[in-house]
Chain A
Amino acid sequence: MTRIACLVVPGADEQTQRILLETALAHSPSVEDGGPGIVYLDLRGLEALFGGEKEIARRILDTIAERGLTGRVGVAGSRAGSRFAARSGDGITIIPPGRDAHRLGPAPLALLDLDPRMAARFGRWGIRTLGELADLPSRGLAERLGDEGPWLQRLARGEDPTPLHLWMPPPVFEESAQCPWGVETLDPLVDLAAGLVGILCARLSRHGFSADAFEWSCRLADRTTHDGACAPPAPLSDPDAAAALLRSSLEAHPPRAAVADITLRARPVRVAVAQPRFDEPPRPSPRQLTAALARLGALVDARGVGSPVILDTHRPDANQMTPFTLGREASPSPSPLSPSPLSPSPCPLPQWGRGIQIPSRLSLNPSPLRGEGRVRGGPTVRGGPTVSGLMARSPILAMHRMRPPRPVEVTLAAGIPAHLRAAGLAGRIVAGAGPWRISGDWWTDASFARDEWDVELADGTLCRLARDGRGWRLEAIYD
């Protein structure tokens, strides 16, 4: 005979609900999460362990009382009966076996959590309590409501054939290894971590999870700890790729002393496997990309591998690196800052400025370095169209930043840069525009203010110069 206990704690939040579920699981292997503040337990077979129903209910209330919680427990032959008992009584309320229908009779119909449409229909029929529903003729109920009618009637009579929807605590993916002799070099530590991550990945795969982050914590021989974390570009459960990632992370952040024990944790995520679309561009597999990024991180500084993000400031060259992930879908369209509108094609191409094909040995009209009018008129192609007509939408001139900006010596003539000398770059300035004054962040300690010039050297090199209180610097070269 089914005996269900319902633990009710009003006003329970998510954390409290977790406590209730864990408390219930400590008393019964069959526990259902009934919603905020409600937990159901199957009491069958627990008498030999904890005693009678009243003793079990008392133990549960005592356990949650130790956590500062106050609740009520109802025991009956069904969920509805136990919940009604828990809500109607004070402390512990037990409905004896076979008495559910009798005790549920005066209970309101709302105890069944009916949907509004069904509740309104019963309201029109004048059915207000479970007893009134239980007394209706089953055949007529089935004719009017279909299968749902007799089903609700059985619930109203205290008959609940549906088993509990078992709640299981989320698995913890953590593995540890002790090294009493102390691991002093990196290679055996990496091998140890690779073994642990292999176990973790096997457990993840068994549960249908992947890991989107790995964390390690090492207890060192000098009684300190060494913690770290790494994240693959896409969730994975492949042990080889995870081991490669861990290796590069440990190589980048090696422990300071011998390792006495190591604990490795994986953050599980459920990854939905989707069939790639036919027109979708190919993507690197997470396994290969993780391995490639791990090797890149070892090859160059790991902080120099990622995707750039432009910071929200007017400061020149303000950007930062973020980890490169496959989760962020590449936008099928250029950035809103893109100067060109998009085509509505499935594979939209930005509308580049049109270059024009010119025949060999063509003679371009000599165009002065200065003078917008002549240049806009453009070089004409003998026997061909003019540049101005075809270059209505020009592509963008790239800029190569100097990081850090290179100090330069600039000679002025009448206040205008006339000559430039820097390491690997020197020459007479034949044209230039400026100064353009920029400043900002004056409300912080890192304010900036400077004048910028775009200059062209005699050999054709186009540079951006900047001058502030520290002198002249080469900021960038156009290319």
Chain B
Amino acid sequence: MATSIESLPPPGWDGEGLDGLLAAFLPGRLSEIVGPRSSGGGSLLLALLSRATACGGLVALVDASDSLDPVTATRAGLDLRALLWVRCGGRPASAWSAVDLLARCPGFRAIALDLGAAGHTAPPSLGTRLQRAAEGGGAAVIVRTPRHLLGGAAALVVSVRRMRTRWIGADQPKRLGGLVSEARVLRSRADPRLATPERAWLIEWRA
């Protein structure tokens, strides 16, 4: 039997690749990306936002430490016109309040909070509050944090760690080539099969 062309996924879609991981960040759910600096967590967040704007959606990034690099974001495919960037000037408390506020404004496809190195604690019970706000607002709310902060409120927890750095140069490094990181789903309420220890994603981020 012939397969309808419309039923095929668009080119580039690979349920077994990075897109499969990105698709696990569901709308209306609170998700968390956990990993130390230089682990690839920020890149994963950027890929998520880029994917959302590529579909014509609006996204918001609450940037606790004012660290977004628009040039890199553009290279990653993020449409800056569809991005609401909230710079919090290194004030994590303001960042938490801002993401709580935005999560209650329906119409965004994704709302991200990048705590950077600024956040090591979350306000008490904010995780549950954010989860409820995400359910009401319909956006995928993602928190990028160095360590797990949201407790049981996060419907999806993805852990990212650095595997190795790729340098370009025959004898000695001439240029930074990229970073290879490994992502694992620690918890997925929507699809618990993703959180099995046997599954991981090896991602190469290009500098």
A interface, CB within 8 angstroms of B = 280-285, 288-289, 292, 295-296, 299-301, 304-310, 317, 319, 321, 324, 326, 328-335, 337-340, 342-345, 347-360, 364, 367, 369-373, 375, 379, 381, 387, 390-391, 394-403, 424, 431-433, 454, 456, 460-462, 476-479
Point out the residues of chain A lying under 8 angstroms from B205, CB to CB: 353, 394-398
Point out the residues of chain B lying under 8 angstroms from A390, CB to CB: 17
| 5 further interface pairs, Cβ-Cβ under 8 Å (given A326-B58, A330-B81, A431-B167) | A308-B68, A338-B77, A370-B172, A398-B45, A454-B207
Point out the residues of chain A lying under 8 angstroms from B17, CB to CB: 352-356, 390
B interface, CB within 8 angstroms of A = 10-14, 16-22, 36-43, 45-47, 50-51, 53-58, 65-89, 91, 94, 97-98, 101-102, 104-109, 116-117, 138, 162-180, 182-183, 197-207
Q: Are B77 and A334 in contact (CB under 8 A)?
A: yes
Q: Are A350 and B46 in contact (CB under 8 A)?
A: no
Point out the residues of chain A lying under 8 angstroms from B67, CB to CB: 400-403, 476
* 5 sampled A-B residue pairs with Cβ under 8 A: A300-B86, A349-B51, A350-B12, A354-B18, A369-B165
Name the residue of chain B whose CB is nearest to the CB of A430: B165
What is the bound-complex CA distance between A340 and B18, given in angstroms? 14
B21 to chain A, nearest CB (A): 7
Contacting residue for B175 out of A324, A433, A462, CB 8 A: A433
Contacting residue for A330 out of B82, B88, B172, CB 8 A: B82
Which 10 residue pairs are nearest across A and B when measured between Cβ atoms? A284-B107, A351-B12, A479-B42, A345-B10, A330-B82, A304-B87, A354-B17, A334-B77, A397-B205, A394-B206
What is the bound-complex CA distance between A114 and B149, given in angstroms? 76
Point out the residues of chain A lying under 8 angstroms from B197, CB to CB: 360
Name the residue of chain B whose CB is nearest to the CB of A293: B84
Q: Are B97 and A299 in contact (CB under 8 A)?
A: yes
Contacting residue for A337 out of B21, B74, B116, CB 8 A: B74
Q: Are A334 and B106 in contact (CB under 8 A)?
A: no
Q: Are A305 and B50 in contact (CB under 8 A)?
A: no
Q: Are B12 and A357 in contact (CB under 8 A)?
A: no
Name the residue of chain B whose CB is nearest to the CB of A369: B165
Name the residue of chain B whose CB is nearest to the CB of A461: B38
A334 to chain B, nearest CB (A): 4
What is the bound-complex CA distance between A347 and B109, given in angstroms? 13
Q: Are B54 and A306 in contact (CB under 8 A)?
A: no
Contacting residue for B10 out of A285, A343, A369, CB 8 A: A343
Q: Are A373 and B84 in contact (CB under 8 A)?
A: no
Name the residue of chain A whose CB is nearest to the CB of B109: A281
What is the bound-complex CA distance between A296 and B73, given in angstroms? 22
